[in-house]
Amino acid sequence: MRHLHALSLTPALPIADPNIDFDPPADGRYLRATFVPNTTDRLFIQSTGLHRYTGLFMVDVFDKPGTGETRARDVAGQVAEHFPCDDRITEEGVTLRIITRPNVGPAIIEDQAIHVPVTVEFWAFA
């Protein structure tokens, strides 16, 4: 999460972190972070050996409906660039490695918001 919070955007956008109270701003522009753990692979026969953890880090870029997709897509592109392939990020003593270029998905348009999802795939060995 700290790596996402280090992202410099102009204008700066608030970030909704998982399981933390958050009130979306009146202008409807913000980011939402979601951590999605996936599989755990046992790499060695030893039960105390390293395991590989894979997962997804999702960042949804929200904007006001009726404003088009360009502004949200531009921010999504900046988020994706902030997590380059092969980057290593250490959080709470665990190093994550970004394994592919982040994917910027299609815009999802709803009554209250438009959002563009950014998916970051990672590995961690622990």
Considering its fold, how many domains does the chain have in total? 1
pLDDT single digits (tens) 62-92: 999 998 999 999 999 999 999 999 999 988 8
Question: Can you give the pTM of this predicted structure?
Answer: 0.89
Report the CATH number that the domain containing residue 68 is assigned in CATH: 3.30.2000.20
Decide which of 13 and 46 is more confident: 13
pLDDT at 46: 66
The CA distance from 117 to 111, in Å, is 17
In terms of residue numbers, what domain contains 33? 2-19+26-125
Q: How many CA atoms lie within 13 A of 74 on its CB side?
A: 9
CA atoms of 106 and 117, how far apart (whole Å): 7
Q: pLDDT tens digit string along 16-62? A: 999 999 999 999 999 999 999 887 777 777 667 778 888 999 999 99
